C-alpha cells in the first residue's frame, strides 16, 4: 500500500502501525478560491486497513479536499467537498494495489 501512494502523485504524511492507518496528501497550487487569505488546495487520502470476520483485508479509503488559508493564528485548513481528482485517486488506489 505505501509504495503505491506515490504512483498516484500523493506524498505519505503519516502512518499508524497499530491501527493500520495511512494518510497522504497532494497540493493543488493551480486551484483558485475567492478569499485573499487563500494559499492552496490540499487533497488528502485517509486509508484504513481492516480485517473482516471472513478473513482477508478490507480497505476503507476517504478522499478529502481542504482549502489552506493564511490566518493570524497561522495556516488554517477548511474542508471543502472532495475534488474530482481526490475521489478518482480514492477509487483507483485499490486497483493499483491489486485488491
- For cell 478522499, the residue is 63
Domain edges within the chain: 2-81
Comparing C-alpha atoms, which of 94, 39, 37 is closest to residue 63?
Answer: 94
d(CA 69, CA 66): 9
pLDDT tens digits for the chain (99 residues)?
678 888 889 999 999 988 889 999 999 988 888 889 999 999 999 999 877 655 667 888 999 999 999 999 999 999 999 999 999 999 888 877 665
Count the helices and strands in the chain (H runs, E runs).
Answer: 1, 5
Global confidence as pTM: 0.81
- For cell 488559508, the residue is 69
Amino acid at each position: 500500500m505505501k509504495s503505491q501512494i506515490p504512483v498516484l502523485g500523493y506524498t505519505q504524511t503519516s502512518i499508524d502501525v497499530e491501527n493500520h492507518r495511512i494518510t497522504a496528501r497532494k497540493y493543488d497550487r493551480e486551484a483558485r478560491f475567492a478569499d485573499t487569505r487563500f494559499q492552496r488546495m490540499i487533497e488528502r487520502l485517509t486509508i484504513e486497513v481492516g480485517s473482516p470476520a471472513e478473513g482477508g483485508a478490507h480497505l476503507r479509503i476517504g478522499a478529502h479536499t481542504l482549502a489552506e488559508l493564511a490566518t493570524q493564528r497561522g495556516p488554517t485548513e477548511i474542508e471543502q467537498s472532495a475534488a474530482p481528482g481526490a475521489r478518482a485517486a480514492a477509487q483507483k488506489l485499490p486497483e493499483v494495489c491489486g485488491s
